[in-house]
Amino acid sequence: MSAMSLPYVCIELDAQIPARTRDIHAKLQSGTRESQAKAAADTLGLAINIMVDRFLSQLLRDLGQAHPEHSLYPQALKVVDDIQGKVAHYLNWLTRFLSNSRMSVVTGHYLALMKPLVPDTPSREFLAVSLPPDMAIKARHTINALRDGSSKDVAAGIEVLVEIVDAVLVDFVYEPKRLMRFNAVVDKTLDGVIYMIKGLAFRQLRQLGQHLPIEHVPIFLDHLERFFRDQESIH
């Protein structure tokens, strides 16, 4: 039985991410004076890389493996590698601003997003974020229409993925940034960084939607339904 109310999106995490987050949280709650900034930035970097891999890289690898004759997919993977490089660069910059007092609030927020969703397997933990019902209804309609061939609007399917990623970013990026209460200069800089990285990722997805052959769409839909959960997906 899922610990989440439908609809939601979930991504399985490497076991070290919840473990590291709990360790950092415990140290912060105990009042440690030892800086947890590097440990927190490293853990956040791992989580972001997993998100990028699950949402983007895995899709491109699946498409490339099924259709190696298409150069589009390996080329797109190079762009994703560049995105991950930018994430690492800016996390390194952010580390100096991650005081223990700021992070003491945020680690609890992140732990609340990590849930064991597989019955009788608590060791498998997922980043899980609720979706607005209207977004889920629209997503399901688009998925089903592409599956049964009543729609060939691949771009609409890509927009479902874009909207889902954007919803995850609200809880995973924007809310933690708000909780940490950075000064105006840092906050504005972070807004610019997030806008740039998100823009690169979404632009890559939308370009994929413009060039994805209709016969490749089932692979994309299978990918999408790995982490999209609604009433229909559990039956």
Give the whole-number percent of the chain exceeding pLDDT 70: 98
pLDDT tens string 8-24: 999 999 999 999 999 99
Taking the alpha carbons at both ends of the chain, their separation in whole angstroms is 13
d(C-alpha 49, C-alpha 45), whole Å: 6
- DSSP label at 13? P
Measured CA distances, 124 to 24, 55, 56, 114 (Å): 20, 19, 21, 10
Sorted by sequence, the CB contacts under 8 Å of residue 134 that are 6+ apart come out as: none
8-12/126-130 β-pairing: antiparallel
Contact 5, 226 (CB under 8 A): no
In whole angstroms, how far apart are CA 178 and each of 97, 106, 181, 198? 14, 10, 6, 18
| Single-letter amino acid code for the residue at 203 | R
Across the range 93-101, mean pLDDT stands at 95
Question: Distance (Å, rounded) from C-alpha 79 to C-alpha 214?
Answer: 23
Q: Please, which pLDDT band fits residue 193 given cuts at 50, 70 and 90?
A: very high
CA 159-125-5 angle, 5° bins: 60
Please list, residue by residue across 89-114, b when 16 or more beta carbons sit within 10 angstroms of its beta carbon and e when fewer do.
ebbeebbeebebebbbebbebbeebb
What are the residue ranges spanned by the domains of the chain?
A: 8-229
Question: pTM here?
Answer: 0.91
Q: Which two tokens stand for residue 159?
A: 């927009």
Residue 132 burial (CB count, 10 A)? 11
Instruction: Enter the tokens of residue 21.
Output: 């987050």
Name the strand (E) or helix (H) holding 98: none
Task: Write out pLDDT tens, residues 99-158.
Answer: 999 999 999 999 999 999 988 888 899 999 999 999 999 999 999 999 999 999 999 999
- pLDDT value at position 235? 52
Report d(CA 8, CA 111) in Å as an integer. Answer: 17
CB 208 within 8 A of CB 72: yes
**Mean per-residue pLDDT of the chain:** 93
| CA torsion angle 189 42 40 116 (round to 10) | 110
